[in-house]
A and B are shown apart, each in its own frame.
Chain A
Amino acid sequence: MKKWLHPGLWLTLAILLVISIWPILTRDAALRERTFTILLAIVMASSLNIILGYTGYVSFGHVVFYGLGGYMGVYAIDKWGWPLPAGVLLGGLTAGLLAFLLGRAILRLRGAYFALVTIGINEAMRTFVSNFQPFGASTGIELHFSVYKPYGGAAEALWLTYYLVVALSLINILLSYWVRQSKLGLGLMAIREDEDAAEVMGVVAPQYKTLAYVLSAILPGMLGVLFFFKNGTVEPKDAFRLHFSIEAIVMVMLGGQGTVLGPLVGAWGYQRLRGLLLTTNWKIAGLAIKDFQLVIAGILLLLIVLFVPAGLVGWLQQKFSKLRRVLI
Chain B
Amino acid sequence: MSILLSVQGVTKRFGGLQALTRVTFDLPEGQILGLIGPNGAGKTTLFNVINGVYTPEEGRIIFRGEDITGRKPYEVAHRGLARTHQIVRPLNQLTVRENVMVGACFGRENHLLHRAAEIADEILELVGLKERAEQLAGSLNVAQKKRLEMARALAAHPYLLLLDEVLAGLNPSEVEGMLNTIRAIRDRGITIIMIEHLMHAIMNVSERIIVLDYGEQIAEGTPQEISNNPRVIEAYLGDPNLAKRLLEEVS
Contacts and interface: CB of A to CB of B under 8 A. Distances in A.
A190 B91 contact: yes
A197 B89 contact: yes
Contacts of A258: 93
Interface string B122-160: 000000000000000000000000000000110010000
Given A183-B113, A187-B105, A201 B51 contact: no
B107 A201 contact: yes
Interface in A276-302: none
B227 to A, nearest CB: 33
A196 B51 CA distance: 12
27 contacts: A2-B113, A183-B112, A186-B113, A187-B102, A189-B91, A189-B98, A190-B94, A190-B102, A192-B93, A193-B91, A193-B92, A194-B90, A198-B106, A199-B74, A199-B77, A200-B74, A200-B83, A201-B74, A201-B77, A201-B106, A201-B152, A201-B153, A202-B103, A202-B107, A203-B106, A205-B74, A258-B93
Contacts of B117: 1-2
B89 A183 contact: no
A197 B91 contact: yes
Interface residues of A, number: 22
A204 interface: yes
A186 B72 contact: no
A196 B73 CA distance: 9
Given A187-B102, A187-B105, A190-B91, A199 B113 contact: no
Contacts of B90: 193-194
A305 B215 CA distance: 44
A199 B73 contact: yes
Contacts, number: 81
B53 interface: yes
Contacts of A198: 91, 102, 106
B85 interface: yes
A186 to B, nearest CB: 6
Interface residues of B, number: 32
Given A193-B94, A197-B85, A197-B91, A186 B105 contact: yes
B53 A196 contact: yes
A193 B113 contact: no
B22 interface: no
B209 interface: no
A136 to B, nearest CB: 45
Contacts of B77: 199-202
A183 B93 CA distance: 16
A220 B89 CA distance: 35
Contacts of B13: none
B197 interface: no
Contacts of B156: 201-202
Contacts of B153: 201
A182 interface: yes
A182 B107 contact: no
B109 to A, nearest CB: 10
Most buried by A among B82, B85, B89, B116: B89
Interface of A: 1-2, 182-183, 186-187, 189-190, 192-194, 196-205, 258
B90 to A, nearest CB: 8
Interface of B: 51, 53, 72-74, 77-78, 82-83, 85, 89-94, 98, 101-103, 105-108, 110, 112-113, 116-117, 152-153, 156
A201 B103 contact: yes
Most buried by B among A1, A2, A193, A204: A193
Given A193-B90, A193-B94, 14 more contacts: A1-B117, A2-B117, A186-B113, A189-B98, A196-B73, A196-B89, A197-B85, A200-B74, A200-B77, A200-B83, A201-B152, A201-B156, A202-B105, A202-B106
Given A199-B72, A200-B73, A202-B77, A182 B105 contact: no
Contacts of B73: 196, 199-200
Q: Which 7 pairs of residues, A with B, have the shortest CB-CB distance?
A: A202-B77, A202-B106, A193-B91, A197-B89, A199-B73, A202-B107, A200-B73
Given A198-B102, A200-B51, A201-B107, A189 B94 contact: yes
A186 B101 contact: yes
B108 to A, nearest CB: 8
Most buried by A among B106, B112, B116, B156: B106
Contacts of B93: 189, 192-193, 258
A223 to B, nearest CB: 29
A89 to B, nearest CB: 30
Contacts of B105: 183, 186-187, 202
